[in-house]
Structure 1
Amino acid sequence: MSETKSRAALAALLVGAGVLYVWGLGASGWANSFYSAAVQAGSQSWKAFFFGSSDAANAITVDKTPASLWPMELSVRIFGLNSWAVLVPQALMGVGAVAMVYATVRRLFPVWAALLAGAAMAVTPVAVLMFRFNNPDALLVLSLTVAGYCVTRARERGSTRWLMGAGAVIGFAFLVKMMQAFLVVPGFVLVYLVTAPGALWRRVWQLALAGTAMVVAAGWWLMAVALVPASERPYIGGSQTDSVLELALGYNGLGRLNGDDYGGLGNLNQQAGWLRLFDTEAGGQISWLLPAALALLVAVTWLTRRAPRTDPVRAAVWVWGSWLVVTGLVFSLMQGIFHAYYTVALAPAVAVLVGMGAAVAWERGAHRLLAMVVAVTVVWAYVLLSRTADWNGWLGTVVLVAGLGAVLGMLFTRRVLVGVVAVAACLAGPAAYAVETAATPHTGAIPTAGPATGGGFGGPPGGGPGRAGRPGGDGGRAAFRPPGGRGGAGGLLDARTPPAELTTLLRNGSSTWAAATVGSNNAAGYQLATGLPVMAVGGFNGTDPAPTLEQFKQYVAGKSIHYFIGTGMDGFGGRGGGSGEAARIAAWVRETFTATTVGGVTVFDLTRS
């Protein structure tokens, strides 16, 4: 293929991905209101921007480091607060990730292999979901894909500069989603140490420099937070001791692995096991090409077994294979809170392995191997599509027949048309899920891609939560509502639009916080509706000890909070091992102030005893 045609093909791929990620984007509204409220806060206050506060008055931060919020907050500062300004940066990150996957494969393989990898990345259902959503995962995936590209480049000639670049990008990724960013590190280090050119001592020294770059890129923000007195910054949400390190190592670290509670709600998902990535919760999100990627990883390793230690093809495949294996095992076996959308972190590795592996097998005449991989892929696609028999039930049969027909053709001919049919059959299932995902608004804290599923092994019946307008689509989790309190605008996992009369009432106040309420999603609904700071008592789960009852009383005495809004979470603080401060605050408010009802919501005016 000529250079002009190659560029045109790449442009078509990126434009197609952009359309898929942007089309009808505004239908999802605020998507995850928890993060949209923080974006609103960061667009109003540079202090909130830096710390990742939930509100512009800086009561408490979100339960993550703030880097994922920064692109959205800058967009909102430029274009104003609206759904498109919040979500378009995420879509552009998706296009960037597709471009990096293409660039990685293209360094060693033909254009067709790079296009295959880019297309596989673009239509992975969970990738379409997260690049149209405002969770931290979009920037995490882009950052790790850039890091993988840098390691691939560094390994080619033993480049210290590229390796340090990878370390710096991974360090930045820590500021996006904390410990998850480091899952790629063990594999990257081992592959570079084993396969990179140069003397062993030089490789060790290069890795030390890359590690230093990673620590600096992640540590500057941690150091800045540590140097600011607690009284001068917001409380670190998600921690029990107002500590970023506790947040990273506990709630967002070991707690996700061992299932122990670190101020959260405990392990609400007991589906851990070797087949988790193939069950009804995660299977349709990521596993379409997962068997192919694993098979091709093993096949390339075998086909290059006699190659020298520094063989670039094998090393490149190992870089991305280590990412897939380590991260995939952690996701499969982790005992703590797990959501299917986490698997978007596997999408770049799967896509690169499919592109590289197919190219190696084709160039080395392993046509029977490719035929076997295609057969397994279309059979697995048929299984996945059979889980949605009431949604385009004909598609699974078409994929199976076309795919197996292409397999027969591959055994007897090397015609390009046969290869095209094989690729189309393998991508038809995820592409259909991808289009369905793009056509469906998604809101709430736990979105899932594709149509609702049911049955199968290892997963709950019903579709995943987070699809607007899908009855019964919560998979047994999103419908959870804690007891206590009366009448709120949201809950643990979503934020609802408050009644107009209550929005008007809150806007007429003059306090630092227009209101306070238990739980970040409850607060987010009021904050986005009014444009004013609303204190999220207890943070995301209502279990953080922030503020304490004494601090809350001081705020009330100083007229800093105008209203307290009752919710279904008022009595929830202290459950799941977290703090009971939210419950004590709610009880004190009920005992001290007179309740009124505005638009069906229980409200306490804290400026009147």
Structure 2
Amino acid sequence: MTIRATKAAYVALLLLTAIGYLWGLFRNGFANEYYAAAVQAGAISWKAWFFAAFDAPGFITVDKTPGALWVMGLSARLFGFSSWSMLLPQALMGVGTVALLYACVRRWFSAPAALLAGVIMAVTPVSVLMFRFNNPDALLVLLLTSAAYAVTRAISSEHHPARWMVLAGALVGFAFLTKMTQAFLVLPALAFAYLLAGRKGVWVRVRNTALAGIAMVLGGGWWIAIVELMPASARPYIGGSRTNSIVELALGYNGLSRLSGSAARSGPGAEATGLQRLLDPEYAGQILWLLPVALISAVALLVMRGGRGARGAVAQQAAFGAGVDRSGRRAFVVLWAGWLVVTGAVFVLMDGTVHSYYMIALAPPIAALSGAGLVLLWSRRDELIARAALSGGALLTAGISFGLLSRASTGALPYAVLTIGVLAAGLLLVNSSQFRVLTAGLLVGTALAGPLTYSIQTISVRKGGTMPTAGPTSSSGGGRSGALISGTATSQVPAELTALLDGASGYTWAAAAVSAHTAAPLELATGRPVIAIGGFNGTNPTPTLTDFQHLIASNQIRYFIDGVSLPNAIATWVRTTYQPTTISGTTVYDLTSPTPT
């Protein structure tokens, strides 16, 4: 490709990615209403923004660190709080991730390899889902891909590798402030890649890696230190923790308990551990499409060397570009395959809470390895081993696509994709120059048809709730794309109830409700703060009954919304102390009017 053609293709890739991620973005509404309520609170109060509080007065935080909410909150402050202003930065993060992945691959491989990697990243169904959603995973993946780019630059830098490694460490640190310990799963791959292939001496590489570690601790630790050292009375309660501690939240609820299963399990694959988790239709539909190709590519990139003679040199440059060295290619595989294997192993073996959308963390390494490996194998297709690898990859991909598409479609599409894959495999084995363009087109079609179909379906329907899945709503788990679990969607909050809470303007909190599942839609529908008793699922030990009674006595809460049948001392006390009123099917207690004795 000429330089002009490469630039045009790159711009087209980013433009089409932006269109796809922004198209009909309003359709998802407030997406995950738990985080949307926190974004709304942050748009009202800087204190709530800094601590990632669920409500503007800052009674309790969400159960994550605030990185992603900071970005969405700033957008809401700039454009006014709405579904669009909240989700816009998420979509732009997707475009940025594709751009950075292209840059990572392009450092060592040809433009076609980088473009193919970018396309695969852009159309991976779970990428399309999460970059149009308000969960922290979008920013997490952008930051980790940025860290991978920084390490890539450090490896090839003659003069400033330390600066790039420090940047990589700081990015991982901020990723920790986005989704806590999941950010650390890429550390072995980043560190080993640089230690293996950095241009400086061994001790300089060790020093630079240590500097990256210090930058990581500072990048993620400053906020943790502030929250942990601040008196509890001066900040919100740390949602998700049992002891009001951000360290406990990071290392316990969002750390070791996710691996060990000591936390309550949730998600369709929570009971199944091992590789069979990835074969669950809900998980497979998010990420499995090109996973075998990525693994085949990693092996090919490691074992295949430059061909002999002029023809081999041409093939070498077609795959890798000019000026690339073998140690750089080896570091590329260590970085991306290490990311894929370590993160993937944790996801399939973890015995605690796991959700299928976590699989977005596997999308960058799958895309990078597949793009580079497929172009390498194609450039070496005159060799039997390369043709066999391409044929095997085509058949595996076609089989996976057929299985997944068959679950969601009764039409001809699954059979068409399977036929394309078989034809591509057959033509590769024949290896006729007459069918070179046709074979390449069939290979690309086999690789992209399945995930692109799921991605289009993801864009075309509403995705919301706490456990969204990419793909058609008729697929396994598709019904999970509704509202908050056991709660009420914002659009379903009765107008009479909205008007009632709107009238509670003289109170710190218009109402209180057990769990965020009930409180979030009320907060979003009215714009009034609502206390989520017990936090996300109603099990956090705050507020105590004494605390709640004090808030009522000081005229800070007007109503109690009785919407969840969880055993709760506060709900029991309210039911026995105040007279219920039914408003559009919702039981409401006016906390200013006790039941006459």
Same fold by TM-score greater than 0.5: yes
Asked if structure 2 preserves the Cα contact closer than 8 Å seen for 1:18 and 1:91, the reply is yes
> Equivalent residues in 2 for 1:325-336 (5 A)?
325-336=341-352
> Any gaps of 5 or more consecutive residues in structure 2?
308-323
DSSP 3-state at the match of 1:288:
helix
Aligned to 1:463: 477
Matches of 1:305 and 1:7, distance apart in 2: 27
Aligned to 1:604: 589
Q: Which sits farther off after the overlay, 182-191 or 349-358?
A: 182-191
Aligned to 1:542: 538
Matches of 1:346 and 1:278, distance apart in 2: 15
Asked if structure 1 preserves the Cα contact closer than 8 Å seen for 2:267 and 2:355, the reply is no
Q: Aligned residues: percent identity?
A: 50
**Could you say if the C-alpha distance between residues 29 and 346 of structure 1 is closer, same or farther in structure 2, counting changes exceeding 3 Å?**
same
Asked if structure 1 preserves the Cα contact closer than 8 Å seen for 2:267 and 2:467, the reply is no
Aligned to 2:461: 440
Matches of 2:99 and 2:449, distance apart in 1: 21
Aligned to 1:287: 288
Matches of 2:526 and 2:558, distance apart in 1: 14
Asked if structure 2 preserves the Cα contact closer than 8 Å seen for 1:517 and 1:567, the reply is yes
Asked if structure 2 preserves the Cα contact closer than 8 Å seen for 1:44 and 1:56, the reply is yes
Q: In structure 2, which of residues 405, 425, 438 is the aligned counterpart of residue 385 of structure 1?
A: 405
Q: In structure 1, which of residues 509, 513, 516 is the aligned counterpart of residue 512 of structure 2?
A: 516
DSSP 3-state at the match of 1:282:
helix
> Equivalent residues in 2 for 1:239-250 (5 A)?
239-250=241-252
Is 1:590 the counterpart of 2:592 in the alignment? no
> Equivalent residues in 2 for 1:454-603 (5 A)?
462-468=476-482, 481=486, 490=487, 497-509=492-504, 510-571=506-567, 583-603=568-588
**Could you say if the C-alpha distance between residues 309 and 100 of structure 1 is closer, same or farther in structure 2, counting changes exceeding 3 Å?**
closer
What is the CA deviation profile of residues 333-384 of structure 1, one whole-angstrom value per residue up to 9, with x for unaligned ones? 1100111111011101100000111233234453332232222222222222
Which residue identity is paired with 2:352? Answer: G
Aligned residue pair count: 568
Asked if structure 2 preserves the Cα contact closer than 8 Å seen for 1:52 and 1:66, the reply is yes
Matches of 2:398 and 2:6, distance apart in 1: 28
Is 1:431 the counterpart of 2:452 in the alignment? yes
Matches of 1:106 and 1:17, distance apart in 2: 18
> Equivalent residues in 2 for 1:116-155 (5 A)?
116-155=116-155
Which residue identity is paired with 2:480? Answer: G
Structure 1 position 84, deviation (Å): 0.8
Matches of 2:111 and 2:326, distance apart in 1: 24
Is 1:361 the counterpart of 2:357 in the alignment? no
Structure 1 position 22, deviation (Å): 1.0
TM-score computed with the length of structure 2 as normaliser: 0.91
Matches of 1:33 and 1:266, distance apart in 2: 18
Aligned to 1:458: none
Structure 1 position 80, deviation (Å): 1.2
Matches of 2:267 and 2:139, distance apart in 1: 26
Which residue identity is paired with 1:68? Answer: A
What is the CA deviation profile of residues 559-589 of structure 1, one whole-angstrom value per residue up to 9, with x for unaligned ones? 0111111012442xxxxxxxxxxx1111111
Structure 1 position 304, deviation (Å): 5.0
Structure 1 position 275, deviation (Å): 2.5
What is the CA deviation profile of residues 124-166 of structure 1, one whole-angstrom value per residue up to 9, with x for unaligned ones? 0011011111111111111111111111221223711111111
Asked if structure 2 preserves the Cα contact closer than 8 Å seen for 1:444 and 1:495, the reply is no
RMSD: 2.1
Structure 1 position 397, deviation (Å): 1.2
Matches of 2:341 and 2:34, distance apart in 1: 32
Structure 1 position 195, deviation (Å): 3.0
DSSP 3-state at the match of 1:81:
coil
Matches of 2:230 and 2:531, distance apart in 1: 21
What is the CA deviation profile of residues 290-340 of structure 1, one whole-angstrom value per residue up to 9, with x for unaligned ones? 01001111222222599x997111211220110000000111111001111
Which residue identity is paired with 1:351? Answer: A
Q: Which sits farther off after the overlay, 229-238 or 160-169?
A: 160-169
Matches of 1:606 and 1:146, distance apart in 2: 50
What is the CA deviation profile of residues 396-444 of structure 1, one whole-angstrom value per residue up to 9, with x for unaligned ones? 2111212221222223135244212211221001001100000011111
Aligned to 1:457: none
More helix per residue: 1 or 2?
2
Matches of 1:295 and 1:187, distance apart in 2: 18
Q: In structure 1, which of residues 375, 392, 407 is the aligned counterpart of residue 425 of structure 2?
A: 407
Aligned to 1:373: 393
TM-score computed with the length of structure 1 as normaliser: 0.90
Asked if structure 2 preserves the Cα contact closer than 8 Å seen for 1:260 and 1:266, the reply is no
Aligned to 1:394: 412
DSSP 3-state at the match of 2:289:
coil
Which residue identity is paired with 2:585? Answer: G
Structure 1 position 386, deviation (Å): 2.2
> Any gaps of 5 or more consecutive residues in structure 1?
455-461, 470-477, 482-489, 572-582
Matches of 1:339 and 1:430, distance apart in 2: 19
**Could you say if the C-alpha distance between residues 248 and 465 of structure 1 is closer, same or farther in structure 2, counting changes exceeding 3 Å?**
farther
Aligned to 2:190: 188
